[in-house]
């Protein structure tokens, strides 16, 4: 791998890790508000909204820390890519149903990020996760 590829890998890994560490931290800071944001999607049974809100921030944070410390990069980046894809599916259903809800992604309960803007942002995050996976695979071969 070239020197530029090496640096690009580390930048992608650290940016992705930092993004999800921040997202996990702000969601974990106010689980009740995040549970309300999850419930607004109207996709899960009522009892599952709090379960998702109570566990998802820690899953994101652990995967992010593994990326930041350059440990288990492929499984962590893959998990974050799958989570981002799942978020995109949920956001697509919100847009298709014409709902106007806050995505609850980075500032649960504060401000308002439309589902379509969050979907565009998630496309970028998914590309970042896939690029991290690809570059990591190239480093190992």
Residue 124: strand, helix, or coil? helix
Of 92, 87, 97, 82, nearest to 116 by C-alpha is: 92
For range 92-107, the mean pLDDT:
87
Confidence of residue 141 (pLDDT cuts 50, 70, 90): low
Alpha helices in 2-141 (DSSP H): 3-29, 31-40, 46-68, 73-96, 115-140
| Residues 32-42 pLDDT 10s | 999 999 999 99
Which has the higher per-residue pLDDT, 105 or 84? 84
Q: What is the pLDDT of residue 11?
A: 96
- CA–CA gap between residue 53 and residue 28 (Å, rounded): 8
In the structure encoding, which two tokens stand for residue 58, read together? Answer: 């820690």
List Cα–Cα distances, 32 to 39, 58, 118, in angstroms: 11, 15, 21
The segment with the largest mean pLDDT, out of 16-25, 100-109, 112-121, is: 16-25
Confidence of residue 7 (pLDDT cuts 50, 70, 90): very high
Confidence of residue 107 (pLDDT cuts 50, 70, 90): confident
Q: What is the pTM of this model?
A: 0.92
| Residues 58-93 pLDDT 10s | 999 999 999 999 999 999 999 999 999 999 999 999
Mean pLDDT across the chain, nearest whole number?
A: 92
- In the chain the first and final C-alpha atoms are separated, in Å, by 9
Residue appearing with tokens 């996760």: 129
Confidence of residue 113 (pLDDT cuts 50, 70, 90): confident
* Torsions phi, psi for 80 (to 5 deg): -70, -35
């Amino acid at each position: 791998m070239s020197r530029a590829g090496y640096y690009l890998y580390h930048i992608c890994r650290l940016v992705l890790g930092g993004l999800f560490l921040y997202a996990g931290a702000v969601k974990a800071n106010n689980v009740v508000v995040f549970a309300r944001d999850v419930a607004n999607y109207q996709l899960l049974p009522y009892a599952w909204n709090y379960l998702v809100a109570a566990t998802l921030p820690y899953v994101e944070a652990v995967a992010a820390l593994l990326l930041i410390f350059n440990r288990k990069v492929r499984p962590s980046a893959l998990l974050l890519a799958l989570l981002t894809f799942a978020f995109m599916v949920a956001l697509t259903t919100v847009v298709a149903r014409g709902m106007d809800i806050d995505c609850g992604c980075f500032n649960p309960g504060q401000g308002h990020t439309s589902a379509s803007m969050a979907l565009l942002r998630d496309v970028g995050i998914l590309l970042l996760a896939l690029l991290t996976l690809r570059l990591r695979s190239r480093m190992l071969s």
